[in-house]
């Protein structure tokens, strides 16, 4: 058996790199989708009213705890959940995958900057891991399969 045969998984013939990329794409897609959906939740119910209340508290909290002004934090907070849901769905479907991974990494970077501003080291570390996963996915995006559009 040569190296190329050993790197194939017999199930459907995908290479290890293809499986690695699909795992990253699915993780990043589900992470974004579920992070967006959870912003609509309050006490076990999901609604637009809950969303805007949650996001208002988030935007105001960051503004009051940091140098970031509320006129920047509120629009960001109000758009975040919707953006994450769309981003997650597009990643899962494989629509413009390279661009969606870049946007995913930049979104996690922007969230990390917000947490840096309020000095929240634990959350910054978790977001740093997400940024690293997005960077890894970008390195493997040429192995993208089961996508609705090309990269």
Question: Does the residue 116 lie in any domain?
Answer: yes
Q: Would you say 84 and 30 are in contact if contact means Cβ atoms under 8 Å apart?
A: no
Question: Does the residue 117 lie in any domain?
Answer: yes
What pLDDT does 151 receive? 72
Question: Does the residue 132 lie in any domain?
Answer: yes
Question: Does the residue 4 lie in any domain?
Answer: no
1 confidence band (pLDDT: 50, 70, 90): very low
Question: Does the residue 67 lie in any domain?
Answer: yes
- Taking only the tens place, the pLDDT of each residue in 17-74 is 999 999 999 999 999 999 999 999 999 999 999 999 999 999 999 999 999 999 999 9
List of residues 6+ apart from 104 with CB closer than 8 A: 28, 32, 87, 91, 130, 134
- C-alpha distances (whole Å) from 145 to each of 22, 26, 68, 109, 140 are 7, 12, 41, 26, 11
- Taking only the tens place, the pLDDT of each residue in 67-95 is 999 999 999 999 999 999 999 999 999 99
Q: Would you say 60 and 73 are in contact if contact means Cβ atoms under 8 Å apart?
A: yes
What pLDDT does 12 receive? 73
Enter the DSSP assignment of 8: B
Question: Does the residue 54 lie in any domain?
Answer: yes
Residue 71 three-state SS: helix
* Domains in the chain, number: 1
Question: Does the residue 77 lie in any domain?
Answer: yes
Question: Does the residue 7 lie in any domain?
Answer: no
The structure's pTM equals: 0.88
Q: Which domain holds residue 53?
A: 14-143
Stretch (H or E) spanning 41:
strand 41-42
How far is the C-alpha of 108 from the C-alpha of 137, rounded, in Å? 14
Rounded to a whole number of angstroms, the distance between the first and last alpha carbons of the chain is 32
């Amino acid at each position: 058996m040569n190296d190329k045969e050993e790197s194939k998984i017999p199930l459907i013939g995908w290479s290890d790199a293809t499986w690695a990329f699909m795992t990253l794409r699915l993780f990043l897609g589900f992470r974004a989708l579920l992070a967006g959906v959870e912003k609509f939740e309050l006490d076990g119910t999901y609604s637009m009213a809950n969303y805007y209340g949650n996001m208002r508290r988030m935007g105001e909290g960051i503004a009051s705890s940091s140098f970031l002004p509320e006129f920047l934090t509120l629009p960001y907070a109000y758009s975040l959940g919707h953006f994450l849901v769309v981003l997650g769905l597009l990643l899962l479907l494989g629509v413009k995958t390279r661009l969606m991974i870049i946007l995913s990494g930049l979104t996690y970077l922007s969230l990390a900057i917000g947490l840096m501003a309020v000095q929240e080291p634990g959350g910054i570390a978790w977001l740093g891991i997400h940024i690293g996963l997005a960077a890894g996915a970008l390195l493997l995006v040429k192995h993208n399969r089961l996508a609705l559009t090309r990269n």
